[in-house]
Amino acid sequence: MKNQKGFSLVELLVVVIIIAIIAAIAIPNLLASRRAGNEASAISSLRTIHSAQAVYQATLGGNVAYTTLAILGTNNLIDDVLGVATPTKSGYAFTSTLSATDPAGSLYCAEGHPVTATGLGATGTRRFGVSTDGVIYANPTATVACADGALTLTGASAIQ
């Protein structure tokens, strides 16, 4: 029985401890990469929305009016995921509003905010917004809000 082959308990524990250390290093980096990917997707989605709004305004809007995300989707100017009333894509929820006061529909804004902003499963940390000027703004701590076709940018900075 002296020739039995296999691993001792100590050897198995050393392997498990090494795997745990590697996981403790890798998992936070994986989550950070996922958040960064979600934020890049949100920025890209806002660029898409702005481009579609510009195309709509120049063609179907008679150089005056912008429209809702659902109508942009109906006219095939944005994809089916964004072309609904309140889309969610890659961990971000998007909203868009039109001006009801300035000549109706002559201004628009869109914003994206993370579905889950805190904790281990956070889908993103920054909020993003864009309006008729096409500049995308970001803010990790304060407000980027969209209402009546105008962005509220408390402490936000332009990213492009």
pLDDT at 2: 67
Tokens for 86, please give them: 């309140």
Of 132, 135, 133, 65, which is closest to residue 100 (Cα–Cα)?
A: 65
Q: Kindly state whether residue 2 falls inside one of the protein's structural domains.
A: no
Task: Kindly tell me if the per-residue pLDDT of 128 is higher than 70.
Answer: yes
Taking only the tens place, the pLDDT of each residue in 81-105 is 999 988 999 999 999 999 888 777 7
On whether residue 80 sits in a domain, the answer given is yes
Looking at the domain assignment, is residue 42 inside a domain?
Answer: yes
Does 54 map to a domain? yes
Average pLDDT of 27-51? 92
- How confident is the model over 107-119, as pLDDT tens digits? 999 999 999 887 7
Q: Is the pLDDT confidence value at 54 over 90?
A: yes
115 contacts 99 by C-beta, under 8 angstroms: no
Does a structural domain hold residue 76? Answer: yes
116 lies in some domain: yes
> CA-to-CA distance for 99 and 118, rounded, in angstroms?
32
Handedness of CA 40, 44, 45, 50 (dihedral sign): positive
pLDDT at 140 (0 to 100): 80
pLDDT the model gives residue 7:
83
Per-residue pLDDT at 1 exceeds 60: no
Domain of residue 47, residue span = 9-158
What is the total count of domains within the chain? 1
1 within domain boundaries: no
pLDDT of 82 reads: 94
3 inside domain = no
